[in-house]
Amino acid sequence: MIRFDHVTMVYAPGARPALEDVSLEVEREEFVFLVGKSGSGKSTFLQLVMREISATSGHVWVLGQDVGKLSRWAVPKLRRQIGTVFQDFRLLPNKSVYENIALAMQVIGRPRHAIQTAVPETLDLVGLSGKEKRLPHELSGGEEQRVAIARAMVNRPQLLLADEPTGNLDPDTSLGIMRLLDRINRTGTTVVMATHDADIVNQMRKRVIELQDGDVIRDQARGVYGAAR
Ligand SMILES: Nc1ncnc2c1ncn2[C@@H]1O[C@H](COP(=O)(O)OP(=O)(O)OP(=O)(O)O)[C@@H](O)[C@H]1O
C-alpha cells in the first residue's frame, strides 16, 4: 500500500532533513499511528504519500506506483484513491453538509445518480443522517469532523490519511471519531493517522511508528504512545 525506500526529504538546501533515510512499509488494510514531537516529520510523511511534495532522494511507493515518477495527469488520479482528514476540518462554510460531501464527487465528474446514492450512504456511515441540510457552523466539532470524514470516504478511497484529526476535539468526542476510523479500517480501508493524542493511541493499540528529528525510532505492533522500548 505504502513503501518508503530510503526516503530523505530536505526542504531547503543546507536545511536539516525533515525525513532522513526512512524505509518502511504499510500493508493493505493496516491501521498505523504516526507519532513524534512537533517537527519530527509526520506531516512531511503524509505529504510525500499524497505527492504534495517529492522526496529529495529515495522512492515513495503508493498503491503500487513510484509517486516520484508520476506524470502530471497521474497525480490527481493517485489523490482520488486517497482520502484526507485534517485537524481543522476544512469544510466549505456556506455549503450544507450534503453539498460539502457531494462536491468531492462533482469535482471528479461523477454522475448525479451516483452522487444521490453515495452521499446518503456515506452520511449514514458517519452517523449524520438527518443533518444533511445543516451548515458547518450549525454542527458540533465532532459532527464537523464526521462530515470531513464522509467527504474523504465518499469516493471509496483505498487509503485514508488523517493529520491530527482529534486535535480540536474533547476526549469523548475524539473517542467517537476513533471508533468511526476503526470501523472504516475494518471495512477494508488502510488508515494512517498522525497524532499527539496519547490516550487515543494507548486505547486503540494499533501499530505505532515514532519519528524523531526525521528518523524512525520505533515501529511497534499494538503499540503505545510513549515509548515502551
Ligand atoms: N514547507 C516547509 N518548508 C521548510 N521546512 C519545512 C516545511 N514543512 C516542514 N518543514 C520542516 O520539516 C521538519 C518536519 O516538519 P513536519 O511538519 O513534517 O513535522 P510534524 O511532525 O508534522 O510536526 P507537527 O506535529 O507540528 O505537525 C520541521 O523541521 C519543519 O520545520
Q: Which atom of ligand 1 is nearest to the CA of 44?
A: 18
Q: Is the pLDDT of residue 219 over 80?
A: yes
Q: Which atom of ligand 1 is nearest to the CA of 214?
A: 14
Choose the residue to mutate in 40, 56, 193, 215 for probing ligand 1, maximizing ligand atoms within 8 Å of C-beta: 40
**DSSP states of 133-172 as a string?**
T--GGGS-HHHHHHHHHHHHHTT--SEEEEESTTTTS-HH
Q: Is the pLDDT of residue 227 over 90?
A: no
Q: Is the CB of 43 under 6 A from ligand 1?
A: yes
Is beta strand 31-35 parallel, antiparallel or unpaired with respect to 207-212? parallel
Residue range 149-164, pLDDT digits in tens: 999 999 999 999 999 9
Residue range 183-215, pLDDT digits in tens: 999 999 999 999 999 999 999 999 999 999 999
Q: Is the CB of 189 under 6 A from ligand 1?
A: no
CATH superfamily of 1-81+157-224: P-loop containing nucleotide triphosphate hydrolases (3.40.50.300)
Q: Is the CB of 18 under 6 A from ligand 1?
A: yes
**Residue-range domain boundaries for the chain:** 1-81+157-224, 92-156
**DSSP states of 190-203 as a string?**
EEEEE---HHHHHH
ipTM for the complex shown: 0.96
